[in-house]
Amino acid sequence: MIRVGVISDTHGLLRPQAKAALAGCDYLVHGGDIGNAGILEELAAMAPLTVVRGNNDRAGWAGAVPDTARLAVGPVIIHAIHDIATLALDPAAEGIAVVVYGHSHKARVDTRNGVLFLNPGSAGPRRFSLPVSVAELLIDGASVSARIIDLDIS
C-alpha cells in the first residue's frame, strides 16, 4: 500500500498538525497557494514532493512552480492543478486516475467518469468557518481510495 499525502492552500502556514498527519507518506502533493518557498523545503524533506502554483503564488520563488503537474505511482496517474475551473483536459481520456486540486478551501472527494477528484481543503489559516484539513490517497496496485483528515487546531 502506497500512501500519498495531499495538502493545499497553506498560504504561508505549515501547521505542525498538518506535518504530523502527512508524516510517513511515500509521496506528497501540494495543490497550490503555497505562500513561500520554505513550505516547499519542509515538505520536500518529508517525502518526494509534487507541487503546483496557486493564484496567490506570485513572488519570485513561485516562478519555477508549474501550473499543473503529474505524479505516476505505479499504474496510477495523479494530475494536480490549483483551480479545477481551469482544468483544460479530459482526465479519463488521458488515463488520469486522480485529479488533485485546491483553491476553494472546501474539502471534497468525488468520482466523475471513473476519475477520482480530491480537494484536501485548506491546511493554512482558517477561512470563514471551514475546517482545516489535509487528505491522503491510498494506492494498492491500480486501486485508489481517498480520505479527508480534519486537523485539530484547538
The overall average pLDDT reported for the chain is: 97
Pairwise CA distance, residues 29 & 137, whole Å: 10
Q: How confident is the model at residue 154 (pLDDT cuts 50, 70, 90)?
A: confident
Domain 2-150 = CATH 3.60.21.10: yes
What DSSP string describes 90-131? -TTTTT--EEE--SS---EEEEETTEEEEE--B-SS--TTPP
**pTM, to two decimals:** 0.97
Q: What are phi and psi of 111, to 5 degrees?
A: -120, 130
**What ranges do the domains of the chain cover?**
2-150
Is the separation of the CB atoms in 20 and 153 below 8 Å?
Answer: no
Q: What is the pLDDT of residue 127?
A: 82
List pLDDT tens digits, range 35-45: 999 999 999 99
Say if residues 54 and 9 touch (Cβ distance below 8 Å).
Answer: yes
Query: What pLDDT is recorded for position 105?
Result: 95
